[in-house]
Amino acid sequence: MPPAVHGPGQVPAPGQDPGFGPGRLRPLLPSPLEPLDDERFTRHGVQLLLKRDDLIHPDLPGNKWRKLAPNLTAAAGRTVLTFGGAYSNHLRATAAAGRLLGFPTIGVVRGDELAHRPLNPSLAQCAADGMRLYFVDRRAYRAKALPAGLDTTGMYVVPEGGSNTAAVHGCRTLGRELHGLADTVAVAVGTGGTLAGLAAGLTDGQRAVGIPVLRGGFLTADVASLQQAAFGARTGDWRLDDRFHFGGYARTAPELEAFAAGFEELHRIPVERVYVAKMLYGLARLAADGAFPPGTRVAAVITGRPATAPG
Ligand SMILES: *Cc1c(COP(=O)(O)O)cnc(C)c1O
């Protein structure tokens, strides 16, 4: 069953106590869809729209909300244990949810060397939100090993990046919110959970394009297997364009940085650099290459905000 969600300012109907449900956080759903006047697109007859998932919730923005919400409903107040890197948006969102909804959280962090250093701002925020942090070496992390000596009985375990079957189901709503409003939908891809759900939620004639932000070429198989697990088959019309990762996760280049800074300046919208910048850059290149027939409505999913942005 989908989680109960309530729009801004709405309150649950009497008798519908959302309990530990994430609906208590009053997400802005459906997220706004904003047309954007950008000459790099209009020149090719392409209408660019921004799907502002970054506005869903101040502490659980973007796809992190969509992926966590069904998991928090399933966890029903139990301790949530999950995994992430030192700058993981997913860890920060999980920690914030724990603080706001009042359930315990545990973060297993990649890199045992970090245990002996001051926390970076992202992990400091997790700790301030009450998350218990365990640092594990890279091999144990890859093996998805639970921290030795920690009794995890009764805990609700969410995988790295939050991408499990419940999360993929949660992201299907993103696709459904775009029925009739866009022809192509673009999203940045980390673990692939968001694309897997989005593509399944779209309707006939709509397609999704994923822009991987890491290198390796394994993500098509990952997205397909997430869909296999969630829906029993590869679902929807989607593909990846692997040309815009700029060498790997969190890697950048002067050209990408200039593009992102220019986009912020022109449109007054903060551009998150690890994911969103690469997706927008890729879209602009696709438009320039004539990949979209004139008249195409392209929705770019703004999956998050810069971590340093105020608020
Ligand atoms: C986590 C994240 C993604 C990647 O989502 P996946 O479901 O892991 O592919 C994209 N954009 C932002 C801003 C994120 O924080």
CATH of the domain at 142: 3.40.50.1100
Q: What letters, b where the CB count within 10 A reaches 16 and e where it falls short, cover 264-293?
A: eeebebbbbbbbbbbbbbbbbbbbeeebbe
Q: Is the CB of 270 under 6 A from ligand 1?
A: no
Return the residue whose CA atom lies nearest to atom 5 of ligand 1.
190
**Distance from residue 140's CA to the centre of ligand 1 (Å):** 23
Whether 20 maps to a domain, the answer reads no
Contacts of residue 36, defined as CB under 8 A and 6 or more positions apart, other chains included, come to 48, 49, 50, 267
Task: Over range 110-133, report the average pLDDT.
Answer: 96
* 168 and 88 in a common domain: no
* 178 and 100 in a common domain: no
Whether 308 maps to a domain, the answer reads no
* 73 and 55 in a common domain: no
Nearest partner of 275 among 83, 63, 39, 126, judged by Cα: 63
Task: Over range 183-199, report the average pLDDT.
Answer: 98
> Which of 107, 132, 162 is the endpoint of a domain?
162
* 294 and 182 in a common domain: yes
- The mean predicted confidence, pLDDT, of the chain is 91
Q: How far apart are CA 251 and CA 245, in angstroms?
A: 8
Atom of ligand 1 nearest to the CA of 163: 7
* 263 and 158 in a common domain: no
**Distance from residue 188's CA to the centre of ligand 1 (Å):** 6
Q: How much is the pLDDT for 23?
A: 79
Instruction: Check pLDDT > 90 for residue 198.
Output: yes
Q: How much is the pLDDT for 19?
A: 57
Instruction: Check pLDDT > 80 for residue 279.
Output: yes
Q: How much is the pLDDT for 147?
A: 86
* 170 and 143 in a common domain: no
* 233 and 171 in a common domain: yes
* 80 and 201 in a common domain: no
> Which of 104, 130, 162 is the endpoint of a domain?
162
Whether 4 maps to a domain, the answer reads no
Contact status, residue 269 vs residue 263, Cβ threshold 8 Å: yes
Number of Cβ within 10 Å of residue 246's Cβ equals: 19
* 44 and 180 in a common domain: yes
Which of 83, 245, 303 to mutate to test ligand 1, by most ligand atoms within 8 A of the CB atom?
A: 303
How many CA within 13 A on the CB side of residue 40?
Answer: 17
Atom of ligand 1 nearest to the CA of 194: 7
Reported as a pLDDT band with limits 50, 70 and 90, residue 20 is: low
Atom of ligand 1 nearest to the CA of 67: 7
Whether 253 maps to a domain, the answer reads yes
> Which of 144, 162, 180 is the endpoint of a domain?
162
**Distance from residue 304's CA to the centre of ligand 1 (Å):** 8
* 146 and 32 in a common domain: no
Q: What are phi and psi of 130, to 5 degrees?
A: 95, 5
Q: How far apart are CA 89 and CA 113, in angstroms?
A: 20
Q: How much is the pLDDT for 71?
A: 96
Whether 2 maps to a domain, the answer reads no
Q: How much is the pLDDT for 310?
A: 40
Which of 194, 195, 223 to mutate to test ligand 1, by most ligand atoms within 8 A of the CB atom?
A: 194
Identify the domain containing residue 234 by its residue range.
Answer: 28-59+163-301
145-161 pLDDT, tens digit per residue, is 888 889 999 999 999 98
Q: How much is the pLDDT for 11?
A: 38
CA angle 291, 214, 147 (to 5 degrees): 150
Structural domains of the chain, count? 2
Q: Scan for tokens 């300046």, then name that residue.
A: 265
